[in-house]
């Protein structure tokens, strides 16, 4: 069974994209990335790991990023993207002009314990027995155990029940 816990998290606006993100020590958490193959981070927002927009440092970073966007629009090879760079620079410049200091906001977040899977061989790969395909078994990166008493994954628990029924 998954255990849930409620914790308080600070959130503030990103200095670049403007989205509300987790903040720790006045710095916005990594965001805007994609996970290639389920685990490898690719790309992220330029406002990640920077001061949140409610601070003077965050406002100054955003103002500096406006200059960066305008420079990027004028670089050779960026002709197709120049309009998007300039439009974003204009939008960000308006946000900077209307800046007001703001403290991060406390929000409750639910922390869900990750499932523990039953370890086994699936399609020749060491993985969780709940993997439904060879590709899933090859890419599996979760927590596994051989101790059936510690398993919390619902699909693995069903597999344990099926095994017990066969043994009887």
Q: pLDDT by residue (tens digit) across 107-160?
A: 998 887 788 888 887 666 677 777 766 666 566 667 888 888 988 888 889 988
Per-domain residue ranges of the chain: 4-110, 114-167
Consecutive H or E run containing 106: strand 105-112
| Rounded Cα gap, residues 2 and 22, in angstroms | 23
Q: In what order do the strands lie in the sheet with 143-145?
A: 125-128, 116-122, 143-145
> By the 8 A CB rule, do 60 and 54 touch?
no
Q: pTM for the full model?
A: 0.66
The position carrying tokens 């620079």 is 89
> By the 8 A CB rule, do 10 and 24 touch?
yes
Tokens linked to 141? 């990166």
pLDDT at 74: 94
| Rounded Cα gap, residues 131 and 80, in angstroms | 43
pLDDT at 36: 62
pLDDT in tens, 34-92: 766 555 667 889 999 999 999 999 999 999 999 999 999 999 999 999 999 999 999 99
Q: Which residues contact residue 122 at a Cβ distance below 8 angstroms, ignoring those fewer than 6 apart?
A: 128, 129, 131, 134, 136, 137, 140
Give the total residue count for the chain.
Answer: 168
pLDDT at 99: 97
Q: Is the dihedral of CA 132, 138, 143, 149 positive or negative?
A: positive
pLDDT at 1: 44
pLDDT at 166: 87
| Rounded Cα gap, residues 61 and 66, in angstroms | 9
């Amino acid at each position: 069974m998954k255990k849930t816990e409620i914790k308080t998290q600070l959130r503030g606006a990103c200095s670049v994209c403007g989205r509300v993100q987790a903040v720790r020590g006045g710095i916005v958490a990594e965001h805007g990335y994609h996970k290639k193959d389920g685990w490898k981070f690719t790309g992220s927002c330029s406002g990640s790991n920077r001061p949140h927009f409610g601070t003077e440092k965050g406002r100054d970073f955003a103002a500096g990023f406006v200059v960066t966007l305008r420079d990027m629009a004028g670089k050779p090879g960026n002709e197709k993207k120049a309009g998007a760079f300039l439009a974003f620079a204009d939008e960000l410049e308006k946000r900077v002009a209307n800046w007001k200091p703001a403290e991060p906001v406390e929000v409750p977040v639910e922390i869900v314990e990750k499932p523990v899977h039953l370890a086994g061989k699936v399609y020749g790969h060491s993985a969780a027995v709940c993997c439904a395909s060879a590709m899933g078994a090859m890419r599996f990166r979760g927590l596994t155990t051989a101790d059936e008493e510690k398993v919390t994954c619902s699909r693995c628990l069903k597999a344990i029940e099926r095994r017990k029924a066969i043994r009887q």
